[in-house]
Amino acid sequence: MYQWPDPLDLPTAVDENLHSCMTHAKPFPHPTPTTKTAYTDASFEQRVISYNVLMGNVCKKQRDAIKADPTGFLAVVPYGAGNCYFEDNPRAHLDIQDFVRSLRFLRPTTEEISKSVRETNKDIRDCFGKPWTLFLHGGSQCLRKFLLYQQTFAISERIAFSVVPLDPNIFSWAICNLVGDGITPTLKDTILAGVKRWLWKDDAFRAHIDKVLAREGVPGSVNEQVLYVTNSYTLVLIHKKDERGNPAAIAQLRGKPITSNMANHLTYLQLVCDGNYWIALNHLKTRGQGVECQLCKADTHPTWDCPLHQTPGWYGPKYDGAERHEDQAKRARDDDGFTTVTAQGSSSRGRGCGGQRATRGHGY
């Protein structure tokens, strides 16, 4: 009989987890560009947004153009983007374009930023409904590298945005969100061990892992391949409240993606969500609960605890909903055993960069 290891062994691939990375982790290898417009120069939690999320509800014409030239475009995600944002800021893409063009290296640049066009009207009544991605095309390689290096630019109370790659091979490490009465800090290890033990024996999960990892060139038996996948698993407890204001903690399972194939990845996520997880007599559900920040679009913290606008020296927007919950966020971070939902090593520099806070004619 196969001897399964301790499910609470230290996780693997921790250094590969993009969610735990910070911008400015290393010095930029080139002189930084000059600009007359100030922005918050700080180290931010790195944005990790999957390609299918960035392209959500984007029309076929734009999807096809980007698919044909994936390295020619970068995704620009305004802070708090959605239907309401673009109604209130119809020139946002032009304002951001002007700012990007003001980032001078050796010569003026001619980047273009285009709005995404809606494929359907299914999210038209949702204030934060998709599509909310802008597309940057053009620019020198040095400028594009700097945009990805800095990643988040907070310019004014109206304009802040992040620049992320449109890379179909990048997936979030968030796998599923568990909810139920058994989710407490003292039972965190018990939950993680229970999830692993279920998946180790689940036939559908094992068959999918065997098929996918064989194609990915990962050697070993089915048991060894299942361990290879689940060894990277971690569990993060996130404070959340239900619509009535009652505590409703979420246990978010995270792990290294197993493939760069979108269909296989989605099947993998579904199989984990299909698991039958129990803590004593408490059933943990994986349906109908999610973690999504409507401001920065991360799937690793709730809106009210977005770390970006809490950065010292933040020039960007601060929304009423987030402000009302700041005290709740502080209390949540003080509760022993629950995540701070921000990466470790966050910089407190938060200084302005780029000179005076000029308006530049577009309300910056």
Q: What is the pLDDT of residues 15-49, one digit of tens each?
A: 999 888 999 888 888 888 888 899 999 999 999 99
What is this structure's pTM?
A: 0.83
Q: Are 19 and 300 in contact (CB under 8 A)?
A: yes
Write out the DSSP string of 89-119: -TTHHHHHHHHHHH-BSSS----EEEE--BS
Give the model's confidence band at 345: pLDDT under 50 very low, under 70 low, under 90 confident, else very high: very low
Q: Is the pLDDT of residue 252 over 90?
A: yes
Q: What is the pLDDT of residues 53-79, one digit of tens each?
A: 999 999 999 999 999 998 899 999 999
Residue 333 pLDDT greater than 80, yes or no: no
> Where is average pLDDT lowest: 198-202, 229-233, 270-274, 340-344?
340-344
pLDDT tens, 102-125? 988 766 667 899 999 999 877 777
In the chain, beta strands by DSSP E: 37-41, 73-78, 112-115, 134-137, 152-154, 160-165, 174-179, 234-238, 250-254, 277-279, 282-284, 351-357
Question: Whole-angstrom Cα distance, residue 53 to residue 256?
Answer: 18
Q: Where are the domains of the chain?
A: 18-170+349-357
